[in-house]
Chain A
Amino acid sequence: MEVIKLVEEAIDRVKEGNGAKINFIWIEANGCAGDIISFLNADEPDALYFLKEMVNLKYSPSLMQAEGERAYEEFLETLNTDFILGVEGSMTNVENGFYDIFAYYKGKTVSVAEAVAKAAEKAKHIIAIGTCAAFGGISAARPNPTGCTSLSVFLGKQVVNVPGCPANPLWVMGTVASLVLYSKVEVDDKGRPLMFFKDTNHINCERRSYFDNKINAQKLGDKECMFKLGCRGPVTKAYCPIGRWNSRINWPVGDNTPCIGCANEYFPDGSEPFVRY
């Protein structure tokens, strides 16, 4: 499989001694922290193997051992090294970023917005992980109470966008492997890796013969085409029918429900209503 080969090559390169493993800062901005949980579900390679061999995870609020000021100091120390910055969750900067706080350090509150801006200045590569970071996502859903924006809009520059709600661990793995190996990743006009975001879910959907013959599911749980129930597969570029989810076990359409376009620029407002009989 593409991703495994890519990762194995990256690891060989690292072992050959082309420099030490690059550092990785994983920031959780205004979101549900679902992308790190999704990432922990990675397999072949899994999160442990990947973190041991591919990067040094220097900062991750979910996994790191230090807490409080020491954790913030480890964040600051990493800024002076080579690192990849991964941000999940949306960026909120209204009221000085009050709606999402990163740390309290030496008597001052540090907002996530401030921390991300600091890190983005020095990062070798920047990845927006998940739809909230890539496009605003559900944190920015109408009426967007905390003024959330995507990472690219916040920074004023295009970053690598790996959307998905949450981001599928295969997509994150493949993207980081490409960065570690080639110091770049081929992306489309919205910054999404072409590896995973070239075709819509519709093109490779296993239910195409039902769609092509206009045989429709009447309700969830049916085995036929979900288009008439609100499926957004035809307008969603992602990798779901091929790489699927959770160790390739299943995916929403395979589970007899419509795709809700969670990797789209306009998710969730552009996908509503999700289900319609």
Chain B
Amino acid sequence: MPGCGASKNKKENAMTIKITLDPITRISGPLSIEVEIERNKIVNAKSSGVQYRGFEKMLTGRSPLDTVYFTERICGICSVAHGVSASLALEDALKVKPDANGVKVRNFAHAADFLQNIIRQICLYVFPDYVKIAAVPGSTGNDFRLPEKFTRKINEDYIKAIEYSRLSHEMVALIGGKVPHSHGIFVGGTTVNLDPLKIIRLKSMLQSIRDFIANNMVEDINIIAEYYPEYYKIGGGTGNLLTYGLFDEMGEGELHYVNPSVYINGKIDKLNAKAITEGTAYSWYSGNKTREVPSMEPTETDIKKEGAYTFIKAARYEGKVMQVGPLSRMILSGSYKNRISTMDRLMARVLEGKKLSEKMLKLLEVIEPIPAVQGKYAIPESSVGMGLKDSVRGALGHWIAIEKGVIKNYDIVTPSVWNLSPVDERGQHGAMEEALIGTEIRDGEHPMEIGRIIRSFDPCLSCATHVITDCREPYYIELI
């Protein structure tokens, strides 16, 4: 049948329907979702990351300077974010004070990758949920409400999005050499030698991208919000918000965006990096202990574990479930009203794109067109370092421990480990599972709500499931 397709297993009481959606398409990486529906309402949801590679294990024993380019390969769509967090962790461990101009250039490249993400996620991944797109075969098949003229407009913008997202990556490549998996993001700042020609080129690219986001995309998302207003009421998830900050080191003026902070029970607080934990009660790893981040204890994968259903671990802050991403940043920076829902996440993502592109134009004015300032960074015998910075999907942390001049342990906690986490040992569901639970499904044959809620979180599975801890000293990143 057309639409999202659902595998239905009728339970004995014929009242609960179980639907498994796999593959969830138009996200980054393989995700499987299982929901239980009673009386047209989702009563339980399981988010399963069904991919696993094991980056933390691979990094052990390697040269510390390799982490920047190595960890970028965790994710193809947000590689720059990993390069940035890895560089920050190395600067911490190597006691390197990065060049001020280099940091601005690095932040610019990071933000340019944000724009690429936002354009592709909204236009290529999310639009087909609400509008039939002609450029790609197939269809989600159902519940399309937009009149012909808006359908045409969004189809046109889908096509334009391909060009503008490519242009965003061209901006990154001007600074980083290539993208995905750039070289110009590194310890100390950047490696590119800027000059007025490169600056004006960046400016011209940025202006056209800014116009596309601020005009076309804002209009498009508002049109969708108008015709699908109920999505302002469903798929919220926890109201606890977390961010590691973005453009927080750019002073307190116009360039500043959001500080590392949390919002819990009505209060905004500074981030306490020691309050983070990672649990494996329902994940395919042996043992059920909730550990601090970073931590070193042996562990292995256990794919036969009773009750486990995902490779993603459960990240918690002070034991609480948190939500991360553009909506968290926009609310915590005071740029968006405090309201959590599917449509709010989508709206916040687009509005953040507009905000960032405007900040980037201002940033370009203070970036000096000078050669890169790099050093010959000495590796200490032993050291530890931490790099926390928000990527487009939310809080991204890298922790490095160096011993005998090589990597002893490397921990990574990605934003999707927050949003897509399974239920923890206290029975608390992760943000996305919670967002799904309680949602009313209008049409049991085509449960469009599931995919729409999922995509509003912008999942990235290659990020969420890189972790593999094995029988050596485990890295459990526990944010405490």
Contact = CB atoms under 8 A, between A and B. Distances in A.
A193 B240 CA distance: 52
A65 B473 CA distance: 43
Interface string A87-105: 0000000010011111111
A165 B181 contact: yes
Interface stretch (B72-80, B320-328, B393-401): B72-80
B412 interface: no
Contacts of B5: 66-73
Contacts of B3: 66, 70
Contacts of A260: 69, 183
A158 interface: no
B9 interface: yes
A62 B28 contact: yes
Contacts of A13: none
Interface stretch (B162-170, B272-280, B288-296, B428-436): B162-170
Nearest to B24: A67
Interface residues of B, number: 89
A43 B166 CA distance: 8
Interface in B350-378: 371-377
A255 B174 CA distance: 8
B25 interface: yes
B422 interface: no
A273 B25 contact: no
Interface string A50-86: 0110001110111111111111111000000000000
Dominant secondary structure at the A interface:
loop
Contact of B141 (A37, A41, A66, A257): A66
Contacts of B172: 246
Interface string B1-44: 11111110100000000001111111111101000000000000
Contacts of B253: none
A51 B139 contact: no
Contacts of A70: 1-5, 138, 141
B45 to A, nearest CB: 15
B140 interface: yes
Contacts of A36: 76
Interface stretch (A142-150, A194-202, A207-215): A142-150
Interface in B84-140: 120, 124-125, 128, 132-133, 135-140
Contacts of B181: 34, 165-166, 262
A161 to B, nearest CB: 18
Contacts of A256: 184, 191-193, 372
Contacts of A224: none
Interface string B173-197: 1111111110110100011110000
B63 interface: yes
A204 interface: no
A169 to B, nearest CB: 9
A66 B138 CA distance: 6
B335 interface: no
A33 interface: yes
A143 B137 contact: no
A32 B73 contact: yes
A221 B376 CA distance: 11
A35 interface: yes
B6 A69 contact: yes
A239 to B, nearest CB: 12
B196 to A, nearest CB: 17
B219 interface: no
Given A67-B21, A272-B66, A46 B77 contact: no
A273 B63 contact: yes
Interface of B: 1-7, 9, 20-30, 32, 50-54, 57-58, 62-63, 65-66, 69-70, 73-77, 79, 120, 124-125, 128, 132-133, 135-141, 159, 162-163, 165-166, 169-170, 172-181, 183-184, 186, 190-193, 303, 311, 371-377, 451, 462, 468, 470
Closest 4 A-B residue pairs measured CB to CB? A34-B76, A255-B177, A69-B5, A145-B54
Interface of A: 28, 30-38, 40-43, 46-48, 51-52, 56-58, 60-74, 95, 98-107, 109, 112, 138-139, 141-143, 145-146, 148, 165-166, 218-223, 244-247, 249-257, 260, 262, 268, 272-277
